Amino acid sequence: MSSLASTPAHAPATTRTFLLLGPPGCGKGTQAERLAKHFGIPAISTGEMIRAEVRAGTELGRTAAGVMVTGGLLSDELVNQIVRSRLGKEDCRGGFLLDGYPRTVPQAEYLAALLAELGMPQPLVLHIDVPEALLIERTCNRRYCPQCGAIYNLSTHPPKKAGLCDSCHVELKQRDDDCEETVRNRLAAYQRSTAPLIEHYSGRSYVRVDGSGSPDEVFQAILAALA
């Protein structure tokens, strides 16, 4: 494993590292933003890391772009290298929150070795669990603004005026894949890939949180679990 010469041998004593697990539609993005603000650490998604490398025009970014343009999936090796590059940056010295990585047990093993190499603590795993029926309801009720990208939910976070964005006042749209059949397929794929990961982390620093409540209730449940 190559070293990161620019990375300090040891992270600050207050360093916190988190992994956020949960099925599509469980609210990981919302909770990631809140936790990042609460602890003063960056929230990093797999997509954000990859896009940053592509924008920067790095060798990793050019390789990733070449794979994605053909519709292919990035290999574990490439994703691991992108994670290594991101976690070596200065803003991660005090900790970070990862959303969307690791997705497999081999990736989890790589991350454990990388954190040890960087002198950082092993992560606390936060698993936001939501019943399948509720996930389907949430996702099928999701709408977005095509102009500003704001996300609404007809049942839990509706717009002030039906069908229109609060800010842009343009008609809200529904993503083509926000339908029950697609959601069920996504959830099945998630269970296949993530169940082994949950088993891998359970019994260590692993916390399961009921994600059925409102965003505020889930956030408070996470903080209570961390306390």
Q: Known catalytic residue: 34?
A: no
The residues, ordered by sequence, that sit 6+ positions from 199 with a Cβ below 8 Å of its Cβ are none
Which among 16, 28, 86, 93 is annotated as catalytic? 28
Domain ranges of the chain: 17-226
Q: What percent of the chain shows pLDDT beyond 90?
A: 48
Catalytic residue among 103, 173, 184, 208: 103
Would you say residue 10 has pLDDT above 50? Answer: no
pTM score, two decimals?
0.76
Q: Is the pLDDT of residue 123 over 80?
A: yes
Q: What is the pLDDT of residues 136-152, one digit of tens each?
A: 988 899 899 999 988 89
**Single-letter code of the amino acid located at 144:** Y
208 is catalytic: no
Annotated catalytic residue within 51, 184, 186, 208: 186
Starting at the earlier edge strand, list the strands of the sheet with 43-45: 43-45, 95-99, 16-21, 124-129, 206-210
Indicate if 192 belongs to the active site.
Answer: no
Q: Which of 16, 34, 84, 142 is catalytic?
A: 142
Is 175 among the residues known to form the active site?
yes
Q: What angle do CA 188, 189, 192 make, to 5 degrees?
A: 90
Three-state DSSP state, 144: strand
Q: Is 86 a catalytic residue?
A: no
Domain 17-226 has CATH 3.30.1390.20: no
Q: pLDDT of 66-87, one tens digit each? A: 877 666 667 888 889 889 989 9
Catalytic residue among 37, 55, 175, 204: 175
